[in-house]
Structure 1
Amino acid sequence: MTTPPVDLRELGRAVKQAQWRHHRALEKRLAPLGTTLAQWDALRAIDQNAGCSGHDLAQITFMSDQAFGTLASRLLLQGLIARSPGQGRRVEYRLTESGVALLTVAQAVVDELLEELFGGLDEGERVTLLSLLQRS
């Protein structure tokens, strides 16, 4: 007996639905900390990519340059990041002490949720899922 072909639209929708559920759950868990998924991701990206430009950070966080700039301005006003001139017109970002503290707490929340989301998968299934999602 042959397996019927998968409806690719249904597959695409299932991936999008999983992403949507994941983002909603993260937003809900991060809200009591006074932050959002986008803010956590920006703090994480800045922490892991010291000295990157705003353009580079926008790409890392899947944002437009304008969207990242707007978000960075909010993080700056909240005292979570600092900007400094880089080479040429480049602006470089770093976390402040408050940014490091928030990222540390938020990362624990994110890690807990990710364990819940993927805890039902054994290591082999996690490897397979990651491999499939990273294919281009």
Structure 2
Amino acid sequence: MNDARSTSPEQLGVLLKDAQSVLHQRMDEALRPLDLSVSQYACLHHLHQAPGITASELARRAFVTRQAMSVLLKGLQRQGLVARADEQGPRRERAMTLTSEAEEILQQAGAAVSEVVGLMTAPLDQADRDDLARLLLACRDSLLHG
């Protein structure tokens, strides 16, 4: 990175974590005016993608514990952004759905997040972005299946 030697796996890991940390910080700043955290945005995003998803699956997709997801969902419910189904599903969990207010805020949040990601990837041309996506998917898949 600083010289002609090849980049070590450790350096790559640190760089990836640094980039993720700064991305999270910038997303948090962009979402703050909407009164959302990154975790709340992730929750709303995944509920939008998979309406009726269980809290357990939602926690896995948002990278938080089940307990943390429970707290997030209660907060989002108090804000009027999610509603809990009356009927219990399998394993006695109640599905959560977005309210119309959440759909509106999610559009604004998505635009704010897109701006941040656009800033992050501004130095890259389309071929570089495609390569980055391919390489990150390969790294993720290797960890999942390796």
Global fold match (TM > 0.5): yes
| Pairing 1:13–2:14 present | yes
Partner Cα distance (1:104, 1:8) in 2: 37
Partner Cα distance (1:92, 1:11) in 2: 39
Q: Which moved more, 1:7-16 or 1:72-81?
A: 7-16
Point out where structure 2 has 5 or more consecutive residues left out of the alignment. Answer: none
Report how far residue 90 of structure 1 moved. Answer: 2.3
Report how far residue 13 of structure 1 moved. Answer: 0.6
Aligned pairs, how many? Answer: 134
Report how far residue 68 of structure 1 moved. Answer: 0.9
**What is the aligned partner in structure 2 of residue 24 from structure 1?**
25
**What is the aligned partner in structure 1 of residue 116 from structure 2?**
113
Secondary structure of residue in 2 paired with 1:24: helix
TM (norm. structure 2) is 0.86
Q: CA RMSD in A?
A: 1.3
Partner Cα distance (2:26, 2:126) in 1: 23
State the AA in 1 paired with 2:111.
Answer: A
Partner Cα distance (1:18, 1:7) in 2: 17
Structure 1 residues 66-81: aligned runs within 5 Å: 66-81=67-82
* Sequence identity percentage: 30
State the AA in 1 paired with 2:57.
Answer: D
Point out where structure 1 has 5 or more consecutive residues left out of the alignment. Answer: none
Partner Cα distance (2:73, 2:83) in 1: 9
**What is the aligned partner in structure 1 of residue 89 from structure 2?**
87
